[in-house]
């Protein structure tokens, strides 16, 4: 290839920022959240009815999660981090201030996968900054990778899988990324005894405010 045959693309490829924060959090933080999940997690069925979904029309996917309102009562320190230190860490990766959401449920969620039948739905984000704090580690052996399309035109899981980045998280890692233009999902686990848990955080910004959040998303995620 000669220098005249190729030019770098104008659009940035998908990228992410990782902070290793687990050792800086209070002792037993992950176990405490897993206890919250065991007591309060609710199973729902996701249907791709909103504009950000990237699933076939008749998809019905089970979801297992703890809503942000429950987390505020059962683990208030998660909201303190969301509004405080984690937000500050996220702002180090962007050129503008991040904005917190208007409700606890939109702010935080604790998402759970167990066994081999569950995966998190394929979608694009409406918010410009997604934060993920992992309570568990995943490997190629266990499955549970975050699968992100390189192709911005990918519209379903098959298209995502055709050319994807696979991220296998480690317990205690805090990820930040913008996936508004990259469809992504969480693949199923590969062992019946495998378990995956992640605390998710949504932030908006002056250039992408919460008003862009698609209709119907709240109803699908937490039944209202």
Backbone dihedral angles phi then psi of residue 198, each to the nearest 5 degrees? -145, 140
- The residue-averaged pLDDT of 144-151 equals 98
pLDDT digits (tens, 9 = 90+) for 113-147: 999 999 999 999 999 999 999 999 999 999 999 99
Residue among 156, 150, 184 at smallest CA distance from 169: 184
- The residue-averaged pLDDT of 37-61 equals 94
CA-CA distances (angstroms) from residue 20 to 54, 85, 135, 196? 30, 13, 12, 18
- The residue-averaged pLDDT of 5-24 equals 94
* CB proximity list for 93: less than 8 A, separation 6 or greater: 17, 129, 176
Is the predicted pLDDT of residue 224 greater than 60, yes or no? Answer: no
139, 189 Cβ separation under 8 angstroms: no
Residue position matching structure tokens 């709240």: 218
Backbone dihedral angles phi then psi of residue 184, each to the nearest 5 degrees? -155, 155
pLDDT digits (tens, 9 = 90+) for 90-110: 999 999 999 999 999 999 999
Burial class (CB in 10 A: 0-12, 13-18, 19+), 137: middle
Taking only Cα atoms into account, the Rg of the chain, rounded to an integer number of angstroms, comes to: 17
Query: Residue 207, Cβ neighbours under 10 Å: how many?
Result: 9
H or E element that contains 20: strand 16-20
Q: How confident is the model at residue 1 (pLDDT cuts 50, 70, 90)?
A: low
Distance CA 179, CA 181 (A): 5
pLDDT digits (tens, 9 = 90+) for 80-94: 999 999 999 999 999
């Amino acid at each position: 290839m000669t220098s005249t045959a190729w030019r770098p693309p104008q659009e940035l490829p998908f990228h992410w920022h990782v902070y290793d924060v687990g050792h800086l959090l209070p002792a037993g933080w992950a176990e405490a959240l897993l206890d919250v999940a065991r007591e309060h997690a609710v199973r729902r069925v996701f249907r791709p009815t909103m504009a950000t979904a990237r699933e076939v029309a008749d998809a019905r996917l089970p979801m297992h999660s703890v809503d942000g309102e429950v987390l505020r009562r059962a683990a208030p320190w998660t909201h303190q981090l969301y509004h405080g230190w984690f937000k500050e860490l996220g702002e180090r990766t962007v050129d503008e201030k991040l904005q917190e959401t208007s409700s606890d449920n939109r702010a935080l969620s604790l998402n759970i996968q167990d066994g081999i039948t569950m995966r998190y739905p394929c979608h694009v984000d409406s918010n410009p900054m997604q934060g993920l704090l992992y309570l568990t580690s995943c490997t190629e052996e266990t499955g549970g990778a975050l699968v992100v399309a390189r192709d911005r035109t990918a519209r379903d899981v098959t298209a995502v899988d055709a050319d994807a980045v696979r991220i296998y998280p480690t317990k205690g890692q805090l990820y930040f990324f913008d996936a508004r233009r990259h469809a992504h999902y969480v693949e199923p686990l590969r062992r019946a005894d495998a378990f995956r848990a992640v605390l998710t955080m949504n932030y908006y910004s002056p250039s992408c405010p919460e008003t862009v959040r698609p209709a119907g998303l709240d109803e699908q995620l937490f039944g209202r």
